[in-house]
Structure 1
């Protein structure tokens, strides 16, 4: 696509322009999800959620329901990316205004920085677990500390942090090529991990579940309603699984815009989401049960398991594979998005690469505070709930208000139809603000709402913001745009 006529330099640069090359077929879309899911954090979350289900069958049911919901939601935002060819912050201009779109862009960028740090810490943790098999390294790990961590952890974090910057140097095509092999690589390693444990356990039955007293002890402080295996717990697992993808519901169009058509998108999504997610969870569940049978304890982190391997070579292979896979998700989910988001704020001065560097720098500054440490379920809900209202506003605007059509050229004009109130759409900001109040602020920082509310915070945020936005937009007769 060429430069939109009369495009404002304050709203346009080459990175924010509609996609010119559309060569991300079903396999590349599929590998967006293998890169996104097949990480240490993805496994950690799946293994943690397994504990709330009480049995293997319950786990697959809950994850299956959540995965189907994820598929539907990703298709919604993905189709918008295919039709318009624009990244998330530009798409947000249609609902929040040409300047107001900076609000959801910055929110998404900040969340990405948190996840960037969490994933980098997970990858470096896999390397630390390998290194401390050596007695000298173990002694150094235990005796030397800085920035609230062991010095060895700090060194590994900085090294992994720096390696990620090398991947992005050549732009989005390099990202595609990297994810096309990084995602499948971790699948192979996950299968090796599972087979190793199953063989060591002497075989495994899918009914060989973890005792209830162990499950109760491990889940007592997670903030999930109901006892493991109860209906309340299973619904909470499905909700948390859906919320885990909250960030990508917003910016999946950063990737789908490179897809040639909606059919390619749907094929990539069906294999990458429900099929891939359920199979990945199946392996995570088997591995969790087998690890408990072999070692007599609940091990939620794969690097904890690989650290117990008798074979140093197998431990090395596992650590390197998990680290590479985690680099993959960080590049896909937590580098690309803030790169576009920060570029959207100052298009004349911040390019895609500079935006990514800003995100990486923030993640480095966050490391001493490590806000991602603690329970996986709570962290996912706290971070994800913030973005639900933004998704609600954008999807209501695109599908209910604009009927799936946008004037793409006007997204780059200062005085076009998306200017609203001097570049800010007050209706969208009000709706999103109220949604964030009920999805994130009240459940996490007050005791005004029931304790279970936070588990479903993302859903409440989507519903509340979406309904308010639709009401405000339709309150005045003739206020709705007419598709061409």
Structure 2
């Protein structure tokens, strides 16, 4: 779509509706292989698998959760295909031409934080491999810089630079990287799983792991209840759905480049329900095989690779973890922050400059490593506001506008989406109400029951979206 006379404060070539659409079903599929196949994704998948208690429960809980994820991603993905615009521009329809910067910056803050955290995780996998060499181990123990070992700093800078190189070549390079990385990671994961299953001599689903050991190992996953119980299974499904909260907002950053709705549907079908079930199964089976081999519940894959006697397998594992983590960083963090920062000042910040800003913030944060401190709770608190934002945007697009948006008006500061001087008061009222129930009350008070936090994102979507719909009733 050609935009005539757009407002300079709202437009640049990167934020304009996508015209060169080359992403087919395979590329969309690899968005998801890149997004979920990370060190944290593996940990969560393996934890949830073991907490299901049996293969049948696993298929029910993770299967239902993955179908819900598919449905939600289809909703925002279709909006991206039909309008061709990225998340911060789509948000203008509900939050106002300038008010959209608020949800965009919330998303950007979360992206920058996790960009640094994932970069550190990827570099950590490389460090773990290098420490097998006695000279590298000595260097690691004796040389320090910026509060870390010099070896850690060097590996972090290498990973940091590699990601910056990918994003600086534009979204087409992102697509090519994902199309290579997604299948490569799958192949290497299967090799590692088969190796451990053969070495253990058994293929099981974790029922033999003592419950107290299992609960202690999976405590950080935040799933309450006894493994296999109804309470636990519903929490497993909810946790799995909530894990993708950030991508529900900015998946349109990718789907806008999709060739057709059919390609989107096929790519999402294979990349979400099918891929997610398979990934969780492989993670779970690998973890249970490692239990038989090493006598420990090793939910972090780098813990497993550290025990390999073979240098080749250790190298294979390190490469897998590094590439997988680069993939999720580019998809979930880098691209989103680049568009979000660009949206604040389109005249001065392009997509590439937005990516550089995100990378610099992650680099500045590295000496303090806030992802290893209580700052994680702050970022999770900020991230929980994504539920109300998603609810408001989807209610606006599907229920208020019936899936039809005047795309040209998204770039007109005096047009349909100006609302109150570029800010939509009703959307922000709904956002605040949604935040109260999704973030503020569960975090800072004991008014709500203890289980509320597990389903906070859902309450945010329902309450924020419902409040917005009621407030807009007088406009129809």
Q: Give the TM-score taking structure 2 as reference length.
A: 0.95
Q: CA offsets, 1:200-229, max 9 Å, x none? A: 101323365422121133245654321222
Counterpart secondary structure, 1:404? coil
Partner residue in 2 for 1:466: 465
- Residue 118 (structure 1) aligns with: 117
CA distance in 1, matches of 2:321, 2:223: 28
1:386 Cα deviation after fit: 2.2
Alpha-carbon distance in structure 2 between the residues aligned to 1:83 and 1:390: 20
User: How many angstroms apart in 2 are the aligned matches of 1:63 and 1:205?
Assistant: 18
Matches within 5 A, 1:119-198: 119-198=118-197
* RMSD of aligned Cα (Å): 2.0
In 1: Cα distance, 2:204 partner to 2:19 partner: 51
Shift of 1:289: 0.3
Cα distance in 1 for residues equivalent to 2:325 and 2:20: 27
1:381 CA drift (Å): 6.0
Pair 1:72 & 2:71 matched = yes
Native 8 Å contact 2:204 2:289 kept in 1:
no
Question: What are the equivalent positions in structure 2 for 1:344-363 lying under 5 Å apart?
Answer: 344-363=343-362
Where 1:355 maps in the other structure, the secondary structure is helix
> What is residue 279 of structure 1 aligned with on the other side?
278
| Alpha-carbon distance change, 233 to 382 in structure 1, aligned in 2, over 3 angstroms | farther
Distance 1:207 1:110 in 2: 37
- Partners of 1:54 and 1:215 within 8 A in 2: no
C-alpha distance after superposition, 1:442-466 (max 9, x if no partner): 2223333222211111111101100
What does 1:373-388 correspond to in 2, within 5 Å? 373=372, 382=381, 384-388=383-387
Structure 1 residue 24 and structure 2 residue 23: aligned?
A: yes
Residue 288 of structure 2: aligned partner: 289
- Equivalence for 2:427: 428
| Greater mean alpha carbon deviation, residues 129-138 or residues 400-409 | 129-138
Q: What does residue 212 of structure 2 align with? A: 213
Point out the more displaced range, 360-369 or 140-149: 140-149
1:286 deviates by: 0.2
Contact 1:54 1:209 in 2 (8 A): no
State the partner residue of 1:408: 407
Residues 237 and 264 (structure 1 numbering): CA distance in 2 closer, same or farther, change over 3 Å?
same
1:23 to partner: Cα distance? 1.5
Quote how far apart the aligned CAs of 1:439 are: 1.0
1:281-306 CA distance string (max 9 Å, x none): 11001001001110011111111111
Structure 1: state its 5+ residue gaps. none
Report the Cα offset of residue 137 of structure 1. Answer: 2.4
Structure 1 window deviating more from structure 2 (449-458 vs 359-368): it is 359-368
Deviates more, 1:150-159 or 1:417-426: 150-159
Give the number of aligned pairs. Answer: 475
Q: 1:384: how far off?
A: 4.2
**Cα gap change, 1:381/1:458 in structure 2, threshold over 3 Å: closer, same or farther?**
farther
Shift of 1:37: 1.2
Aligned pairs for 1:213-232 (under 5 A) are 213-220=212-219, 223-232=222-231
Displacement of 1:314 in angstroms is 1.6
Residues 294/381 of structure 1: CA separation in 2 closer, same or farther (3 Å cut): farther
C-alpha displacement at 1:67, in angstroms? Answer: 0.4
Aligned with 1:437: secondary structure? Answer: helix
* 1:360-393 deviation line (CA, Å, top 9, x unaligned): 1122223334343489x98996564221110000
Partner of 1:449 in structure 2?
Answer: 448
Cα drift, residue 146 of structure 1 = 4.6
Q: Name the CA distance, whole Å, in 1 between partners of 2:108 and 2:457.
A: 17
Q: Is 2:328 the counterpart of 1:317? A: no
Q: Distance in 2 between matches of 1:397 and 1:124?
A: 41
Aligned to 2:44: 45
Distance in 2, matches of 1:206 and 1:299, equals 14
CA offsets, 1:87-142, max 9 Å, x none?
Answer: 11000000000000001110111111122112111111111110111223233334
**Cα shift readout 1:389-444 (whole Å, capped 9, x = no counterpart):** 10000000000000000000000001111000010000001111221222123222
